[in-house]
Structure 1
């Protein structure tokens, strides 16, 4: 059994074949995300688009992706976390993959070297795993879609 964790960033780049596999994995396991949003997060992590960069960690077993973390640097510290784990995804049905993800998260936290934030839903299948690593729910996120017309009282 061959296990490996591959680290990608702006300096290393990411081969197209690997990028396609990561996008497909995230599409399969992050069912609410659009492909263009996934690609944009990868572009920011790899500095394909102007950004502070970041990194992508991919855990593989016998060549098959078992978990992915996409981290975007925010360029902020103090009042906002310096790293946003945009995606931290694995196959939630497998205990083996859960352990793989636990190790992948620990490695990603070491690479981040600072504050880390994640935005996940309250019913996210990995919530307890993230809490086990020390993540705490601190804020309620509010979002406004500015394309929707606002009613003024």
Structure 2
């Protein structure tokens, strides 16, 4: 397995953006966002839309995506982490084989500053992040306007 890194300097092609968007949408589980939201986070990370950018990490085996992570930079520190791990997904048949752990380790090593993640309180993936040193700190509340 290899992990590829994409950011503002190593541009993603439209084909790669679509491929990663479709992968994350399919394998993010029951708590998935829309393809539009996923695509927007990838475009932000790769600086295809204005912002601070971030990173897209793609785990591949034989040119097939088996896992992917999207990190968006916030430009803040101390009171809000500098990085938000927006999406992480592993293809079903590769789960519980260490790929998610490897993606998280890679993310921790590659990103400078603190990293946060928003996880639905009922998502079993919380245990994976706790094993990687993430701690529950805050509860997010949202006012969603239609």
TM-score for both structures, normalised by structure 2 = 0.92
Q: How far has the Cα of 1:100 moved from its partner?
A: 1.2
Question: Which stretch of structure 1 is more off in the superposition, 86-95 or 62-71?
Answer: 86-95
Q: Tell me the distance in 2 between the aligned counterparts of 1:29 and 1:124.
A: 14
Q: How far has the Cα of 1:49 moved from its partner?
A: 1.1
Q: Is the 8 A contact 1:92 1:125 kept in 2?
A: no
Q: Tell me the distance in 1 between the aligned counterparts of 2:41 and 2:33.
A: 11
Matched, 1:78 2:78: yes
Q: Tell me the distance in 2 between the aligned counterparts of 1:60 and 1:72.
A: 21
Specify the alignment match of 1:21 in structure 2: 19
Q: Is the 8 A contact 1:92 1:126 kept in 2?
A: no
Structure 2 gap ranges (5+): none
Q: Is the 8 A contact 2:53 2:73 kept in 1?
A: yes
Q: CA RMSD in A?
A: 1.3
SS of aligned partner of 1:135? coil
Structure 1 gap ranges (5+): 148-153
Specify the alignment match of 1:8 in structure 2: 6
Q: Is the 8 A contact 2:66 2:90 kept in 1?
A: yes
Aligned pair count? 143
Q: Tell me the distance in 1 between the aligned counterparts of 2:68 and 2:108.
A: 13
Specify the alignment match of 1:33 in structure 2: 33
Q: Tell me the distance in 1 between the aligned counterparts of 2:138 and 2:3.
A: 32
Moved segments of 4+, more than 6 Å: none
Q: Tell me the distance in 2 between the aligned counterparts of 1:139 and 1:55.
A: 24
Give the structure with higher Rg (CA).
Answer: 1
SS of aligned partner of 2:107? helix
Q: Tell me the distance in 2 between the aligned counterparts of 1:95 and 1:4.
A: 17
TM-score for both structures, normalised by structure 1 = 0.88
Q: How far has the Cα of 1:111 moved from its partner?
A: 1.2
